[in-house]
Amino acid sequence: MTDRVHLTLDRVAILELDHPPLNIVDRELLVALEAALAELDGAAPGDVRAVIVTGRGERAFSVGSDVREFEAHRASGGSERFEMEARVAQRLAGLPMPTIAAIEGNALGGGLELALCCDLRIASERARLGLPEVRLAVTPGTGGTQRLPRIVGIARAKELLLTGRVIDAAEAERIGLVNEVVPAGQAIARARAIGDEIAERGPLAVRAVKALVDAALDRSLADGHAAEVETSVRIFATDDLLEGARSFVEKRQPEYRGR
């Protein structure tokens, strides 16, 4: 990784954006983030069981793109940058293991869009969140108009997107934008606790559940149920399934290995 992104591999991996003070998303950060995501994508199920995504420092998870670069994007048409941002976001959203955004500071614009790519979001009470692009006469380009409605519903998403309003952590929790609000300074610790809890579960089953839920809104109920049955057959053929059943009968903690 470059200095812009730090990846610590473990059962609960830590992926940190490090572009102080606001963790602005520039090309160098995107290149490093894409490399880190490729490494995570290839991790064995038993090795990396959850990922915490966060931004270094207390001021911002990330505030997205540098507004000072907008004119340059306009001159070039911006397509290469937008396509790269979209590709990185899709890669984050498509990681096979669960991801948890630990939002200690502000998550705005492209920064919030990265958090929306994660499966869960934990916010510090001092965090502020929003997609204020229309206030600058631009549009979200990293999935905000697509992922936000899926998380908070169409009406809430339109309200936030059309006004560009920035909300506090308490309101974000009330509308379902974040899963939990914690005291200042505790977002990463709480995300780690959840990650540790996930890491104790069967990693193949966890990955399968994530894939099924991610595909649910794009399938009919019948097709989704059929996918569940197919997945259950596959998971029942694993060694982890045997370990889960035996540990339950023997009243001990299971030792899953992702096989």
Catalytic residue (choose from 16, 104, 113, 173): 113
230 is annotated as an active-site residue = no
CB 49 within 8 A of CB 209: no
CA distance 48 to 32: 19
Beta strand residue intervals within the chain, DSSP E? 5-8, 12-17, 50-55, 60-62, 99-103, 106-108, 120-124, 128-130, 166-168, 180-182
CA distance 204 to 225: 19
125 is annotated as an active-site residue = no
CB 35 within 8 A of CB 15: no
CB 61 within 8 A of CB 101: yes
Catalytic residue (choose from 28, 133, 180, 200): 133
Nearest to 6 by CA among 129, 19, 68: 19
11 CB contacts (<8 Å, ≥6 apart)? 47, 48, 49, 50, 196, 199
Residues forming the active site: 113, 133
